[in-house]
Chains A and B, each alone.
Chain A
Amino acid sequence: MEPLPDEELVSTVLAGDQDAFGQLVGRYQGRLVNYLYRLLRDTDEAHDVAQEVFIKVYQALDRFDPRYRFSTWLFRVGQNAAIDHIRKRRLKLVSLARPDDGDDGRDWELPSGERGPYRELRNLERGEAIQQAIEGLPDEYRELISLRHFGELSYDDIAQLKGMPLGTVKNKLFRGRQMLKEQLADFLTD
């Protein structure tokens, strides 16, 4: 049986069938959790924020505009929730840091000392190397790579979500992948 499009599921939920929202959660949970994980770098927090996002979207479902894609809306809410979460976390860490810690405001991005920037890439396992390569990308590239490869959004969806021209999205994704390819050269097969 052909799966119902997102927009039809939304209509079904609004008509009173809450289970239809379960189908939307099932459809997007992996993509949303992985996207949030790339932004938050913490598995538990990614799940917690994803749950929060699904609840927010559910509560505002009657304001969903069917002219736009549900996925774009979901990931926009997800992005805002992640930014709020990072801001709160940063405030918490800054308030706990000693004044002479030399905090440059980025320690929250690397919650684990195991992924120190000086560790030799070739000594890392492939998965960890990928993690480090993604984290090493400039923010604008990392965000688009996350949306494309972990959120699995289409180029059009990303352009709509970020308010960028389609050509810019394509070009930035290309350049981001080129950077990753160079970083991971030892781990990629020819």
Chain B
Amino acid sequence: MGESKKELDCVQHMEALDLALDGALPAAEARQLEAHLTGCDGCREERQRLLSLREALGEAKIAVREGFQNEVMAALPAAGWQTATAAQITTTAPPRRAYVRAAVLLVALGGASTLFFTLSGGDGGPLGGSLAALVSSLGAALVAGAGLLGASWSGLGMAIGEMFSESPLTAVGLGVLLVCLSGLLVSMLRRRPQVAEQRDD
């Protein structure tokens, strides 16, 4: 009965013994293990076998070939973070070329439709009618936009005039606020470019 209890005790200490040899056993458990080892020949032999296994694994290591470090250093290319080209760098700035292309396309479309409508004597059929409608819509949108902008500026002018007449201090505060906001906007537009993501390996 006492013998089987001892065996159970040894089995329970087996993993602790293994961890202890790797220095991965908490101090309190290590003390318990040492106490057990003091009175257990079997576990002391087991510890010796585990030590011998580690020694054997150490012997199985291969030597790094001579000059390997120099080979690696000589083979190092310019690092990715040193050679990032303009093409690899992405920014969040608006794509100006896209705006230009869109404007050119819009003008060309308007010109073509006007020409088509004129040449066909005012009756360009379904296609001419559609294009004419499109141009008319764009024209209307431009007029509406200009009107809104004009109204906004008028309103803004009136508001500023009102502020200057009643409280010059408020107008100065507004000016400071506008300068700060502009500074923030400029710093955001000029923020650091980000290199495109690459695989870790």
B77 contacts A184, CB within 8 Å? no
- Residue B69 interfacial (CB < 8 Å): yes
Complex interface: chain B residues within 8 A of A54 (CB): 72, 76
B56 interface neighbour in A59, A145, A188, Cβ under 8 Å? A188
What's the minimum C-beta distance from A135 to chain B, rounded to whole angstroms?
11
A58 contacts B79, CB within 8 Å? yes
Closest to B17 in A: A174
What's the minimum C-beta distance from A22 to chain B, rounded to whole angstroms?
5
Which of A94-102, A106-114, A115-123, A124-132 lies on the face that meets chain B? A124-132
A127 contacts B60, CB within 8 Å? yes
Complex interface: chain A residues within 8 A of B53 (CB): 177, 180-181, 184, 188
A190 interface neighbour in B49, B60, B198, Cβ under 8 Å? B49
Complex interface: chain B residues within 8 A of A47 (CB): 64-65, 68
- Residue A55 interfacial (CB < 8 Å): yes
Closest to B24 in A: A155
What's the minimum C-beta distance from A32 to chain B, rounded to whole angstroms?
9
Chain B binding surface SS class: helix
What 0/1 pattern do residues 13 to 53 of A give for CB contact below 8 A with B? 01000100110011001100110010000010011001100
Given contacts A60-B80, A126-B59, A184-B56, contact A25 B69 (CB under 8 A): yes
What's the minimum C-beta distance from A175 to chain B, rounded to whole angstroms?
9
Which chain B residues (128-147) contact chain A, with CB distance < 8 Å? none
What 0/1 pattern do residues 48 to 73 of B give for CB contact below 8 A with A? 11101110111111101100110111
Complex interface: chain A residues within 8 A of B68 (CB): 29, 33, 47, 50-51
Which chain B residues (67-103) contact chain A, with CB distance < 8 Å? 68-69, 71-73, 75-77, 79-81
- Residue B201 interfacial (CB < 8 Å): yes
What's the minimum C-beta distance from A86 to chain B, rounded to whole angstroms?
14
Complex interface: chain A residues within 8 A of B166 (CB): none
Closest to A155 in B: B24
- Residue B3 interfacial (CB < 8 Å): no
- Residue A8 interfacial (CB < 8 Å): no
A81 interface neighbour in B14, B45, B56, B201, Cβ under 8 Å? B201
A50 to B77 alpha-carbon distance, docked (Å): 15
What 0/1 pattern do residues 165 to 201 of B give for CB contact below 8 A with A? 0000000000000000000000000000001001011
A-B contact pairs, 20 of them (CB 8 A): A14-B81, A21-B73, A22-B69, A26-B69, A34-B61, A50-B72, A51-B72, A55-B75, A56-B201, A58-B76, A59-B81, A62-B79, A76-B201, A148-B22, A150-B57, A173-B18, A174-B15, A177-B50, A188-B56, A189-B48
Which 4 pairs show the lowest CB-CB distances between chains A and B? Answer: A62-B81, A188-B52, A59-B80, A80-B201
* Apart from A34-B62, A59-B80: 5 A-B pairs, beta carbons within 8 A: A50-B72, A55-B72, A76-B200, A180-B57, A184-B56
Please list the residues of chain A having a beta carbon within 8 angstroms of any beta carbon in chain B.
14, 18, 21-22, 25-26, 29-30, 33-34, 37, 43, 46-47, 50-51, 54-56, 58-63, 73, 76-77, 80-81, 126-127, 130-131, 134, 145, 148-150, 155, 170-171, 173-174, 177, 180-181, 184, 187-190
